[in-house]
Structures are given as C-alpha cells and as structure tokens.
A and B are shown apart, each in its own frame.
Chain A
Amino acid sequence: KAGVTQTPRYLIKTRGQQVTLSCSPISGHRSVSWYQQTPGQGLQFLFEYFSETQRNKGNFPGRFSGRQFSNSRSEMNVSTLELGDSALYLCASSLEIRETQYFGPGTRLLVL
C-alpha cells in the first residue's frame, strides 16, 4: 500500500506570496493532520481534518488554512508568506481519529 505522499517536495517563495501544499493520505485513511517543523519551535500541530471537516486547530494565525476533499486528500494554504514560515510541513494520515498517524516525507518551504 502506498504511503502518504506530499507535493511538491521543495518550494521557494518570496515574502507576501501565497502557497498551497498538497497531501494524499494512505488509501482508506480518513483523517489528515498537518504539522510545521522548524529548528526553533520543533514540531507544531497546525490542523486536523476528518470527513472533510476541520476537527482541531493549532495556535497559528489565520493566514494558515486548509481543507479536505471527499477523497480524503488535503491541501493547506499559507497566504501573505513571512520569512518565519520557512519550515518543513508534514502531513500525516490515520484510519480514524485517534488512530496511529503515518507521516509523509514533507514539503520544505523556503521563504525569501
């Protein structure tokens, strides 16, 4: 069974731009979560989706948003990029809520 896939793997943007990252969960998984990883703050939870509904949200500004489609694929969007948004963005999927999460390889975003 294929694992979690994330596209693109690498991305370079400039301040003020917006970006959309995509995540395809493991087949049959209905829950998708997003995390931001930076050297300074470590791994921080962004949001969780289940059956196209946001179930939980981390402490990030409204510039960070996401959605989940009927096939469980998910996207996250960051508008008005700031230098501090440079990070590895990780997507994880699980069968159901509170089941084990399996992570994708991440999208590395660099904001110049």
Chain B
Amino acid sequence: AQSVTQLGSHVSVSEGALVLLRCNYSSSVPPYLFWYVQYPNQGLQLLLKYTTGATLVKGINGFEAEFKKSETSFHLTKPSAHMSDAAEYFCAVSGGYSTLTFGKGTMLLVSP
C-alpha cells in the first residue's frame, strides 16, 4: 500500500522567489514518484518523475525534485517563481502497478 502527504494546501510566493512544495510518501515497494500540475479546468500535466537512478530529477518549466529515501520525501522546487506557475500541484506515488496514489494537492499562488 502507498500514501502521499503534501504539506500545505496553499503556498504563496512572490514572483522571482524560490518555490518549495513538500511531498512525503510511504510505499511497501520501491516507489515511482511523480509531480503533476493542474491548471483550472484542465487535466493533469506531468512535470517530472523519478523511477530509478539519479535522485535529482529535472522536469519541465524549470522545476526539479530530489528523491530522498531516508526521509521518504520528494519535494518540488523551482529557483524563481513566475506568474504562470500559479496552479495546483499534485505529488503521486505508484507501487507495483500503474495505479497512482495522489496527495491532496497544493495550490501555488504567485503574487507580483
């Protein structure tokens, strides 16, 4: 069984500031980890994923995440926020099958 906890339902940053969205997971098997972004009235867009290998994963739009097994974490970061980053972000884990277990989501608010 797996689960995901995203700390903070809302995160507010200023444009140009560091973005940090937190995700902790639990999994009974080696996890695959994902971050997806959802813009209003749209589906989910894949930002990045970790399967095996390098623990620092780079994704689209300048986002990256680091898999830390000892901390069971997969936090999402971006050095400099842009207004267009405002959206809801979901961390997800998959176990033996494709089934994704999602966190509750974090709404990122970016102010000018």
Q: Chain A: residues with CB nearer than 8 A to chain B?
A: 4, 31, 33, 35, 42-43, 45, 48, 55-56, 58, 90, 92, 94, 97-106
Contacts and interface: CB of A to CB of B under 8 A. Distances in A.
Interface of B: 32, 34, 36, 42-46, 49, 90, 92, 94, 96-105
8 contacts: A33-B98, A33-B99, A35-B102, A43-B92, A43-B100, A92-B44, A98-B96, A101-B100
A58 B42 CA distance: 23
B34 A43 contact: no
A98 B97 contact: yes
Given A43-B90, A100-B34, A105 B100 contact: no
B112 to A, nearest CB: 27
A56 B99 contact: yes
Contact of A42 (B42, B96, B104): B104
Contacts of B42: 105-106
